[in-house]
Structure 1
Amino acid sequence: MGSLFGRGITAVASQVRRRPGWSLALAGALLCGALLRLAWVRDMEYKGDEIWTFERTQQVEHGGPFPWFGMPNSVQVPHPGMSIWVYLALGKLWGVTEPPQLARASQVVDIAAIVLVVIFALACVPAAEREPWLWAAALVSVNPLAVLFHRKIWPPSILPIFSLGMLFGWWYRDRRWGAFLWGLLGAVLAQVHPSGLFFVAGFAAWAFCFDRKRVAWLPWFAGSCLGGITLIPWLWYVLGVMKTGGVSARHWVHIVEMKFWARWVLEPFGISLSYSLGNDFGDFLRYPLVNGWPTYLVGVLHGVVLAAAVILLGRWAYQLWQDRRRWPELWVGRQSPTAFTQNACLWGFGLVFTASLLPMHRPYMIITFPLMFLWLARLALASSGALGRPLLTTLCVAHLLISASFLGYIHVNQRAIDGDYGLPYGAQTRSQKSEVRGQKSAPLVPSLPDWSLTSDF
């Protein structure tokens, strides 16, 4: 593995020498992505999940009980403990005493994950397949939804670094150390967020069905067992919950909704900020304002993205029809390691999760990092000919401007946003400070139950 790291550094230097213009553009996209994640940290979301996460880091720091479980999900079943332990570790390393510091730590980890995509592409991916990975890093850097999610302090936001680590092991699954790492980090990933259970199962099922002879299964199993030891308290608890009625969120209707694949196709285009803004999305489209007058630049940028999406998806559908005799091969992804990895997520993870009958919430797609964006890049480069790179460049520029406008919109509108965003943290603190001194202000979001081992066993 040490040699792979050295190879990555060498490959980066070689890439800069051979293609300085492209390398400069990619570095610019990565830099913009970092700035978007780090800007105006006090404008962060701060609601129930964020409050719960930050409060636990402070409770443990001040001698409170160690949380063996994470925060409760929508059906009041707690996440595995690893979902809060990673934030306890970040809080300790960064000396966190207030929420923006914890958000900053999480943002830096996600920025590192994007940089590692580039290193992985240059060091591990065959040269003929490398370009889509580099485009994926550029796209995820500036994508509005990726920026939104990477600025939060909740379990899904910390997933990218673990997802990429698991993919690194998966890439070398024919070697004992690679299979072991795949199993180990897969088990850890499943504990950071429950969607990881289905993600790991999807990849394992895909490898077993279509590549079983190449996989070092015993090291994979050993790594999975070692990484799964810390999951035992959570499994014990969940078994008790299932005995009393199970998880109520499971419904047959989720199979026909096909939300996983709808989100897979739409999320990389970054046109879903209405999820965060709600009824304020229409107002956002009017921005930026010049002397109080709307320019509708954000609306125009969304139109550009939609036009690019229609062109890319239309040409892709046409190319797919032309290649209909190759559908079985294309579905598996036998044509390349990159295609096989992408399809293990697109079909392996997608089918396993859909079969669970659970709802596919938008944040669950974060775990696919960076494969949704890799899919978009491969689609554009393979099916759009000479238009592929210009369209990807157009998307990157439009996404950068939309993301910057979104952050600016939140910054100048320090109020409760109608959608999922809520009241920014900075506005909350100013509201609390403005109250009469000596009076304890009512909490904006009630404290959630303490899922500690002592209280639940």
Structure 2
Amino acid sequence: MTRRELALLLAILLLAAVVRLARPDLTEFKADEGRLLTAALMMSDGQFALRGISSSVGLPNAPMSVWLYALPLVVWSHPYAATLFTGLLGVVAVGGVYWLARRYWGIGAAVCAATMLAVSPWAIVFSRKIWAQNLLPAFVVGWAIAAVLTYVERRRAFLILHILCLAIAVQIHPGAISLVLATLLLLIVFRRRVDWRYLAAGVLLSALTAVPFLWYLWSRFRADGGLAMASGQSSPHFSFDAVSLISDILSGQGIAALAGPNYNGFPAESAIRLLWLALVVAGAGWAVWKIARTPREPAAQTAFICLVWLLAPVAVFLWQWTPPYIHYFILAIPAAFLLAGGVWGEMASRVRPPVKVVAWSAFVVVSALQLAIWANMMAVVARDPMAGGFGIPLGVKLAAADGARRLLDDTDAIEILVAGDGANPEQQDFPAEFRALLHGVPLRYVDLKQEAVFPATPSVVLLDTSAADGPSSARDLYLVPSGEWDSFAIPGGDLAYSVRAMPAAATPSIVSNIEPPPLLANFVRLIGYDDRRLLGEGVWDIYWRPADNPDAGDYHFFNHLLDGAGRRVAQVDGAAFAGPQWRAGDVVISRFWLAVPNELDPPPAMSIGMYRFPSIESVPILDEAANPAGDAVTIPLGD
């Protein structure tokens, strides 16, 4: 490699690194990212992962992505470590593409292919956040390099690496299953160059990587009597959606959705994308021509492998057995740009020097414009990330989490209450995100849409943005205790996360006490209520104390509004504060919204009680002798 070529390669890698590694705070971070980061952090702490995060088809994903993300977290237990790790693997993929194109098609092909991968908008986006499928490019490029070394150069021992990279890719994300079909086709086409001993070794080694996950699935099968799956597609059918999606991911189409509907895009954006996609299509055509014309040449056989690699995911999803999404085609991006580089290198080698200078100048301009499209979109996102699909950046969420950590360290608080949209990290986004960002800290999750929790001990409260509020939001209850809030604003609007230290027993004054406080069979005591907003706004509060110890059960409240004749005129049920989070001394205010009729025969009353969910088994009210005395408490509300 000459100094000039080395300088070109380093420049391309530096460019790829800058756009993938700069501003780790300006990256997406949602529920899947949070759950994956939590699992990786737990593994970096020594808890071996047998499974990955849950998938849309019912089964959990394999733990490979968890294992990989745990590697940087062992060194630096911070969300940026995993984020930058994703970007570094993206840079490795760019380097691998350069090596592969350079080896068989020359410097021109290598520079073109690596540059296209370095500046492709979707390739950059999918290299800038913690997401399982974002790990794929480096491993599928490794799969392709090992394939070429095995089948083209007949270095048969590389078949082990070829099969191992395939196994890793499939376990990173099931979308890579298309590479299994590609591998089978290559094994058939190049069967005379396959040493079956190395194939067996590769399969055995790959199987070993899958043993923990297979053991988990078997244990779950035995415990549950089966494995529940959902396809998300009731009637499989033939569709060209895969062709449209792979065209979008290669050209950069659709990236504007991250910036929102009011984003006007970049000048001549459509023309730039068309030129980009045209070069990819030309590359695929060049591969077919090359294979037909000189099938025995290494360059043609390499083109064949890349063409199979490109077309495999499209072929798998032409029969739409599950809805395809754009990220299912991440693994095909390097293949497309390799073929584009191949045809570009071929054309550049056949023209005179003046034409070559013009052609390369045009390529540099178009590449720079593609990069500008991404940069312009990200500038808009930085100003108003909530306008489109990008969402609140990792940096803002991390600042709020760090603010809560500081208060926990600087005060006598013993836990952080994560109060926002939902209280189940496995089902809702907000708790999933902050469980990861506050890893290692004592946490409890409060569904701000329907409850507020006030511990008997000092605590820190982290409040979600007001976008999480609904008609029964309990945000105002946390504003009653005096104290200063630290705000962490989201650019482009009035939304902000809020953090404050809350003293012990900071419960707002009970509006109406229930005397004596009824005791339920699950040791819950109903201590008061607030009906001041019931008839006007339909808002009804119940004050209660949970049992002194956590309860594995899941409970719901029922609230029946009765008129003066005892007729039920409105009803609402809702989840109680989760039993596993109960602590001694807690006071919980559960808030409900009822559709109260405009006219109500006096005097009204409210009948309330609890039941187990999902069994709908009533929780009895106990009398003084601890005997069941009914299923509900009826509270007169007056006129």
Q: Answer whether TM exceeds 0.5 for this pair.
A: yes
Work out whether 1:66 is the aligned partner of 2:44. no
Amino acid corresponding to residue 202 of structure 2 in structure 1: G
Match of 2:502 in 1: none
Match of 1:4 in 2: none
1:272-291 aligned within 5 A: 272-277=254-259, 280-283=260-263, 285=264
Equivalent of 1:255, from 238, 253, 265?
238
Equivalent of 1:408, from 353, 362, 379?
379
Work out whether 1:95 is the aligned partner of 2:72. no
Match of 1:119 in 2: 99
- Aligned mates of 1:189, 1:49 — CA distance in 2: 18
Q: Against the structure 1 CA distance between its residues 328 and 134, is the aligned structure 2 distance closer, same or farther, given a 3 Å change threshold?
A: closer
Work out whether 1:363 is the aligned partner of 2:327. yes
Match of 2:336 in 1: 372
Q: What is the TM-score of this pair, normalised by structure 1?
A: 0.76
CA offset at residue 442 of structure 1? 2.1
For the residue of structure 2 that corresponds to 1:79, the secondary structure is: coil
RMSD over aligned Cα, in angstroms?
Answer: 3.7
1:38-57 aligned within 5 A: 38-57=21-40
Match of 1:149 in 2: 126
Which structure has the larger Rg? 2
CA offset at residue 396 of structure 1? 1.0
For the residue of structure 2 that corresponds to 1:442, the secondary structure is: strand
Work out whether 1:84 is the aligned partner of 2:66. yes
Match of 1:291 in 2: none
CA offset at residue 176 of structure 1? 2.5
- Aligned mates of 1:242, 1:376 — CA distance in 2: 50
Equivalent of 2:202, from 215, 218, 223?
223
Tell me, yes or no, if the aligned pair for 1:129 and 1:338 is still in contact at 8 Å: no
Amino acid corresponding to residue 329 of structure 1 in structure 2: A
Match of 2:16 in 1: 33
- Aligned mates of 1:244, 1:72 — CA distance in 2: 13
Bigger shift: 65-74 or 403-412?
403-412
For the residue of structure 2 that corresponds to 1:70, the secondary structure is: coil
1:249-398 aligned within 5 A: 249=232, 253=236, 255-259=238-242, 261-277=243-259, 280-283=260-263, 285=264, 298-309=265-276, 312=279, 329=292, 336-355=300-319, 357-379=321-343, 389-398=360-369
CA offset at residue 306 of structure 1? 3.6
Among all aligned residue pairs of Structure 1 and Structure 2, give the percentage whose two residues are the same amino acid.
21
Amino acid corresponding to residue 267 of structure 2 in structure 1: V
Work out whether 1:203 is the aligned partner of 2:167. no
Amino acid corresponding to residue 304 of structure 2 in structure 1: F
For the residue of structure 1 that corresponds to 2:254, the secondary structure is: coil
Q: Please, which runs of 5 or more residues in structure 2 have no aligned partner?
A: 408-412, 433-639
Match of 2:558 in 1: none
1:417-441 CA distances to partner (integer Å, 9 max, x unpaired)?
A: 421x221112224456789977734
Q: Against the structure 1 CA distance between its residues 265 and 383, is the aligned structure 2 distance closer, same or farther, given a 3 Å change threshold?
A: farther
Q: What is the TM-score of this pair, normalised by structure 2?
A: 0.56
CA offset at residue 256 of structure 1? 1.6
CA offset at residue 379 of structure 1? 4.9
Tell me, yes or no, if the aligned pair for 1:36 and 1:403 is still in contact at 8 Å: no
Match of 2:636 in 1: none
Bigger shift: 137-146 or 215-224?
215-224
When you count strand as a share of all residues, which structure comes out higher? 2
Q: Please, which runs of 5 or more residues in structure 1 have no aligned partner?
A: 1-12, 286-297, 451-457
Match of 1:448 in 2: 426
- Aligned mates of 2:65, 2:362 — CA distance in 1: 38
Q: Against the structure 1 CA distance between its residues 316 and 68, is the aligned structure 2 distance closer, same or farther, given a 3 Å change threshold?
A: closer
Q: How many aligned residue pairs are there? A: 404
When you count helix as a share of all residues, which structure comes out higher? 1
Bigger shift: 227-236 or 426-435?
426-435
Q: Against the structure 1 CA distance between its residues 233 and 90, is the aligned structure 2 distance closer, same or farther, given a 3 Å change threshold?
A: same
1:399-426 CA distances to partner (integer Å, 9 max, x unpaired)?
A: 121222233223233x42421x221112
1:144-172 CA distances to partner (integer Å, 9 max, x unpaired)?
A: 11111101111111112211221121112
- Aligned mates of 1:243, 1:110 — CA distance in 2: 38
For the residue of structure 2 that corresponds to 1:416, the secondary structure is: helix
